């Protein structure tokens, strides 16, 4: 079995991040590399570049990593986290333009089936278009 | 090229909602054949390996699901999918309201 694409969930809220990850694990299972982060380092609502980088490392797969975000800062901080990755990893990480919960479940299902990073991303993004 | 087709009544309480959709899609992805699903005999046929399309089908309880496949493992694919539906997605011991 080749590596499955990793999924990273980035929310402003630790509860949303945990809950979304729970849904993925319950619905799709634990065969897909999965990590989540939410909240700022002080425990409030927000996102942290450092925590996002840790989550990317946790879910790392040679097949790549797809990130699902909720609102504005989650996306910009995820972009920063991706930029700070070593060059050889950077090209294997994408941020999906998809609803965080639905996108995470769809992306994980696609990853489970052995899809490539771009297939995983387009499946998550197909949601918004439909 | 083998082709196979079957129909099965879905009695699941909630219908083809999120969790059954994921199970069905995961199962379909395990076959090399092209596998399709329809909620009416005349179609439209949708790709059973596409989680987005399967979930968008929103088939309610008592829908007759139609499966067809073409490829080397077509017969096994439609049988396995029909079995999953017949087994009520293996959710009989779970609370269907969860998903």
Residue B75 vs residue A127, higher pLDDT: B75
% chain B with pLDDT above 70: 92
Instruction: Classify A39 as helix, strand or coil.
Output: coil
Task: Show the low-confidence residues of chain B (pLDDT under 50).
Answer: 95-99
Q: Which residues contact B83 (CB under 8 A, 6 or more apart)?
A: none
Q: What angle do CA A58, A64, A65 make, to 5 degrees?
A: 55
pLDDT tens-place string over residues A77-94: 999 999 999 999 999 999
C-alpha–C-alpha distance, residues B33 and A8, integer Å: 31
Please provide residue B44's backbone torsions phi and psi, each rounded to the nearest 5 degrees.
-70, 150
Using the beta-carbon criterion (under 8 Å), do B22 and A127 form an inter-chain contact?
no
A114–chain B Cβ distance below 8 A for any pair = yes
Parse chain A into domains and list their residue ranges: 6-129
Show which residues of A are catalytic: 12
ipTM over 0.85? The verdict is no
pLDDT of residue A62: 97
* Closest CB to A27 among B18, B29, B56: B18
Kind and range of the H or E element at A25? helix A14-27
Domains contained in chain B, CATH given:
3-89 (3.30.1340.10)
Nearest to B90 by CA among B27, B37, B43, B45: B27
Q: Distance between CA A115 and CA B26 in Å, rounded? A: 12
For the A6-129 domain, the top CATH level (class) is: alpha beta
- Residue B31: closest C-alpha in chain A: A113
Task: Calculate ∠ Cα A5-A7-A8, nearest 5°.
Answer: 145
């Amino acid at each position: 079995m080749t590596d499955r694409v990793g999924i990273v969930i980035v929310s402003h809220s630790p509860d949303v991040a945990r809950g979304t990850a729970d849904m993925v694990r319950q619905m799709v299972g634990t065969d897909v590399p999965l990590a989540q982060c939410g909240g700022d380092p002080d425990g409030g609502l927000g996102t942290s570049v450092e925590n996002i980088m840790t989550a990317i490392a946790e879910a790392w797969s040679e097949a790549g990593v797809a990130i699902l975000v909720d609102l504005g800062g989650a996306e910009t901080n995820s972009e920063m986290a991706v930029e700070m990755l070593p060059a050889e990893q950077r090209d294997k990480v994408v941020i999906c333009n998809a609803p965080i919960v639905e996108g995470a479940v769809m992306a994980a299902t696609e990853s489970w089936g052995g899809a490539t990073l771009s297939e995983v991303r387009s499946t998550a993004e197909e949601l918004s278009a439909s | 090229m083998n082709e196979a087709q079957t129909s099965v009544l879905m009695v699941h309480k909630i219908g083809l909602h999120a969790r059954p959709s994921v199970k069905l899609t995961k199962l379909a992805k395990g076959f090399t054949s092209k596998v399709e699903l329809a909620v009416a005999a005349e179609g439209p046929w949708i790709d059973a390996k596409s989680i987005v399309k399967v979930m968008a089908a929103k088939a309610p309880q008592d829908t007759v699901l139609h499966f067809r496949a073409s490829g080397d493992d077509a017969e096994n694919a439609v049988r396995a999918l029909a079995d999953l539906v017949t087994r009520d997605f293996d959710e009989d011991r779970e609370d269907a309201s969860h998903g």
